[in-house]
Structure 1
Amino acid sequence: MGQTTFDDEDLFGEAADEMRADVETHLEAARSNLPTASSVWETDADNVLGALNGLRSALDTGDAVEELRQAKKQYVMGERAGAFDEDDELADEIEALESLIETLEDAHEQVGELTSTVPALRSQLEDAHSEADDADADTDADADAEADAEDGDAGEAEA
C-alpha cells in the first residue's frame, strides 16, 4: 500500500492538476456545444424566411456559454491561487472561445432582426406593387375611355 502524502506542495500540485483538468473539460464541453460549420452554412429552406429561421437556430450556442463560464471560473480561481503560473495556453483558449461565442451571439441577434424585418419588407413591397398595378389599371381604363370617346366623336362627325 502506498504512503499518502500530506505535503502542502504535493497537495497544491495535485489540486492544480485537477483544476486544469476541470478547465479543459469545461472548454471541451463548450466547444462541443457550439454549432457545426455545416449547420450554419447549409440550408434546406424554400424561401428567405425559412433560411433565416434555420440560420438563427443554427447560431444558437446552447450550453456553450455556461460551459465557458465554468471554465473561466475555474481558471480565475486557479490563476489567483498561482496554479497556472506561466501557462498562457489556457488563457488563450478561453479568450478564443469567448470571442467565437460573442461573434455567434452577435450574428444570432442580427439574423433575429432580419427574421422580423424581412416579412414586413415583403408585405410593404407587395403593397407597393399592388398600388402600382392599380394605378396602371386606372391609367389603362382612362386611356380606353378616352379612346372610346374619340371613337364616338368620330362616329358622330361622320353621321
Structure 2
Amino acid sequence: MEAVMACWELEKSLQSLTGVSPGEGTGATMSDDDEEQVVTLTCLMVVSMFQTGYKEKIVDIREEIPRKRRAGKLPGDTTSLLKAWWQSHSKWPYPTEEDKARLVQETGLQLKQINNWFINQRKRNWHSNPSSSTSVKSKRKR
C-alpha cells in the first residue's frame, strides 16, 4: 500500500512539474535539460519520501539490535542455576535424566541446551584425573 501511495505522490508531482496528466500527450517535447531536471526532482522526492516514511522504522531497529542477546549466551539467572548444580556435583558432574528434566523445568531451556552446557562446562572446567590432564598438556609443549 505504501508503494502505491508513493507512486501516486510521484505521479501528482510530475503532473504539477510538467502540466501533463499520465496518458495525455501535448505533442511538445522536453529539452534534455528539462528532462534531466524532472528526473533529478523525482529522485529527490523518492529519497525524501523514503527517508520520512521509514526513518522511524530504521530508528526502532537500531534501538532493538543492542537489546537482543548474543547468540549462544544464556541469561545470567539460567547460568547461575546450572552452575549451582555443577558446584554441588563437582566430583561427578553428569546429571541424570531426572536432573536434566528438572533443570529444563527450572531454566526454560531445551534438553539439548542443557546437555551442551554440561558438555562445554566439563571441557572447560573439569578434569576427572588432574595428573592425566597435565601429562597431556606437557606432551603438547614438547
Verify same fold: TM over 0.5.
Answer: no
Greater RCO, 1 or 2 (C-alpha within 8 Å, sep 6+): 1
TM-score normalised over the length of structure 1:
0.33
- Higher helix proportion: 1
TM-score normalised over the length of structure 2:
0.36
